Amino acid sequence: MAVTRTPQPLATPVVRTRTALAHPALMLAGILLVALNMRACLAAISPMVGEIQRSLGLSATASGLITTVPVLFQGVGAPLTPRLTRRFGAERVVLGAVLVLGGGVLLRVLPSSAALYAGCVVIGVAIAVLNVSMPSLVKREFPHRAAAMTGVYSTTMLVGATLAAGVSVPLEQVLGGGWRASLGAWSLLALVAALAWLPQLLLARRTQSPGTAAAAPRTAPAAVGRGPWRSATAWRISAFMGISSLLVYSLVAWMPTVLADHGMDRGEAGLVFAFSNLVQVAGAFLVPLIAGRMTRQRALAVAMAALNGVGIAVLLLAPVSGAWAAAAVLGVAQGGSLGLALAFIVLRTDSAAGAARLSGMAQAVGYLVAAAGPVGAGALHQATGGWTVPLALLLVLAGGAAAAGWGAGRDVTVR
């Protein structure tokens, strides 16, 4: 999304003095600790879905909503963020969102199904606010190193997810309080991030005079018209992003359960899932770099979809013996597909405003499509009594991603 700083009157410039609070290392530490939280609380629940289902007596469809609800409410919360940052400033909004995220983590583990889903709603909204706020802060605070810092920030999110997926089951055993103790412990990470962010709030109060909260980044105004919604290429990009995200969220929700249902130890299933998340880091970092060196990305898009298909086929045919191989292939495919989808937004537009509008369309469609994945897979599992039909459908959808990516990879500009 394109962002811009609102200019300040010349008579009252807002300048940050280089104090201890303003040290870039302190800002970077705060950003990275916040980023650790943004995927951890979602990934931590995946190895626990089967146990949560048994504990609360949930159906497979209802269990799928545990992952689906945060995805839906990320879309709901995103439009609120620009208004919040204009009124309160980005520093306050980030601090508030981190605290709300920690509260959602605690709400999710209270002893009732209603609290579980309410916590998922709160977590989804908080992550949405952070998704919009944090990249703008990175660009504002590190203007000459924004691309490198964005890579570090994005990698940190995936590291948080990997850590959470890998230690959820061992943490449950260490704490001895079941899945509630394991999931609730992640609220401490949010508290640490909030404490690390406090200096930025104090600095903002020192350097901003009353009424300057509007200095927070704003979304660039879009031109009047339907824009990318009338473009076939924009729809192909949106379809590629949506289907790729559906594959990711479906496997995030159910991959450990699929492995456990086929006889794998739950602890090992969590480690396989964590390994897949770790490999995503390489795919998400390398594939956009490769895409930027190509005029057309058709072959790259089809390759990512094909790798998704191969990984899903291994889970379908040899879920236990081939689990680690499937995790490696899916990690590259999922991280690379999402990175390529984001690269398409930049490569297929000719201006920052155009990229912002295409990003809005692609992410709106992507959230809608992706949210159907976990609950749909859960419903099919419940209806058929196994994982063959859900995985076979995901395999077919990987073919759909290849078709959409072939069109999205054309060397054309969405105007």
Q: What was the pLDDT predicted at 86? A: 73
Once rounded to an integer, what is the mean pLDDT over residues 226-244?
87
Enter the pTM of the model.
0.69
Q: What is the pLDDT of residues 159-183, one digit of tens each?
A: 888 788 788 888 888 888 788 999 9
Domain containing 324 equals 226-415
Q: What is the pLDDT of residues 187-217, one digit of tens each?
A: 999 999 999 888 877 776 665 544 444 444 4
Burial class (CB in 10 A: 0-12, 13-18, 19+), 170: middle
Q: Clarify whether residues 264 and 142 are in a common domain.
A: no
Among the listed residues 230, 218, 257, the one whose alpha carbon sits nearest the alpha carbon of residue 353? 218
Among the listed residues 365, 390, 361, the one whose alpha carbon sits nearest the alpha carbon of residue 376? 390
Task: Place 135 in a pLDDT band, splitting at 50, 70 and 90.
Answer: low
Q: Clarify whether residues 246 and 310 are in a common domain.
A: yes
Spatial separation of the C-alpha atoms in residues 166 and 376, rounded to whole Å? 25
Q: Clarify whether residues 266 and 344 are in a common domain.
A: yes
CB atoms within 10 A of CB 198: 13
In a domain, 1, yes or no: no
Which one-letter amino acid corresponds to residue 298?
A: R
Q: Clarify whether residues 202 and 88 are in a common domain.
A: yes
Q: Clarify whether residues 179 and 272 are in a common domain.
A: no
In a domain, 3, yes or no: no
Q: What was the pLDDT predicted at 1? A: 42
Task: Place 107 in a pLDDT band, splitting at 50, 70 and 90.
Answer: very high
Q: Clarify whether residues 199 and 276 are in a common domain.
A: no
Q: How many domains does the chain have?
A: 2
Once rounded to an integer, what is the mean pLDDT over residues 325-336?
93
The residues, any chain, with a CB within 8 Å of residue 121's CB and separated by 6 or more, are 69, 70, 73, 104
Which one-letter amino acid corresponds to residue 102?
A: G
User: Is the Cβ–Cβ distance between 372 and 248 less than 8 Å?
Assistant: no
Helix (H) or strand (E) holding 4: strand 3-4
What CATH code is carried by the domain that includes residue 340?
Answer: 1.20.1250.20
Once rounded to an integer, what is the mean pLDDT over residues 344-355?
71
Q: What was the pLDDT predicted at 172? A: 85
Q: Clarify whether residues 194 and 250 are in a common domain.
A: no
- 8-state DSSP, 216: S
Q: Clarify whether residues 373 and 393 are in a common domain.
A: yes
